[in-house]
Structure 1
């Protein structure tokens, strides 16, 4: 079980994590929460009922990580628009779609990150020296979403667009300042892959 998820009888997954691994995942999840920011209903003085009907932003985020987490839904990045009219049409469709979906997407990503933090905090309270993390099927899906978001965030910071580029970064010398982030990216990828396998029928 060390280093990878295994299925639990009756559903769910388990993985053994040491104190350092718990600390790394928790810290990354907290940073992700801070980056995503609060929802409309969580802002100070906001009306929770109004928050349910709040429209989201219409422009893509300026931060490259958020842009990766919340990409435009319209347009084929591999095919540039044929003319200015098509480009304007794509922007209009993307803005409209973003306005009505981004708040929900952000809420889902916040819930996933919070699920990771809460389950790890439960482990920390259980004792020092590491522990076996056991996830229910629902928590497994939330963890899977959070692991995917964390890898996308790290890939964005490392400017990784293809998996092959991650392999090249793996060969970085130890003194390269990007090396710890690359190792975290690869480690989270292993966790993600084995967690996926526990969810397959």
Structure 2
């Protein structure tokens, strides 16, 4: 995965097929958490660096598909665990049952009555905005080739969608403050649990990717802005 850079066509990054597939999967999972479906199953993209030998390509494809199926099952289990737990604990239908969904759709006030009123007024609008931009990013990720070009007008969609994915990953990893954020790299490097290590690694990678996009966007601002 390469950092975003500014070009005449927009903001550009490069990912291999595995990276695109995994990130597309979690983007789709977060969209589904908000009640939005992606157009179809997560596809494997054809990276420019894939083997050209047919036999090697077939072996790589089979191995990749097996890895992606296992990772997809693990990620889906992690993303749905909180929602299932919320339902089993009898959380009110007026509030998001999944704590990760509650982080995506937080209360607008500490006062319960005001928070309920604001939720009635704004929740569907916020949900629609988040779900729509996650779908757009998913569409960019399942295109062909290793190069992803995000038009300038779509950069905020990407930045916002990456924030939402990171919020859900943070909830699944128990990241609640700056101290635990600092510890996530340790989880990525040495957690004995395969799923925790995978989610932590993904969190670190998406944080870095988002930072590179924001830095590229800031380069466009005039001096003193």
Which of the five TM-score ranges fits, normalised by the shorter chain?
A: 0.7 to 0.9
What residue number does 1:175 align with?
A: 192
Distance 1:107 1:148 in 2: 16
Structure 1 residue 58: Cα displacement = 8.7
Q: Which residue of 2 aligns with 1:3?
A: 2
Give aligned pairs, total. 162
**Structure 2 stretches lacking a partner, 5+ long:** 38-91
Q: Which residue of 2 aligns with 1:30?
A: 28
- Partners of 2:155 and 2:133 lie apart in 1 by 10
Q: Does 1:185 align with 2:199?
A: no
Query: Contact 2:12 / 2:150 at 8 angstroms: preserved in 1?
Result: yes
CA distance in 1, matches of 2:105, 2:142: 28
The TM-score with structure 1 as length reference comes to 0.75
Please give the per-residue CA displacement for 1:145-194, whole angstroms capped at 9, x wherever unaligned.
11000000000111101233132232232532311100100100001111
1:110-129 alignment to 2 at 5 Å?
110-122=131-143, 124=144, 127=145
Under a length normalisation based on structure 2, what TM-score does the superposition of the two structures give? 0.67
CA distance in 2, matches of 1:38, 1:132: 26
Secondary structure in 2 matching 1:180: helix
CA RMSD of aligned residues (A): 2.0
Residue from 60, 63, 66 that aligns with 2:98: 63
Aligned residues of 1:170 and 1:179 also touching (Cα < 8 A):
no
How far residue 121 of structure 1 moved from its aligned partner, in angstroms, is 2.3
| Corresponding residue for residue 163 of structure 1 | 178
Deviation at 1:140, TM superposition (A): 1.3
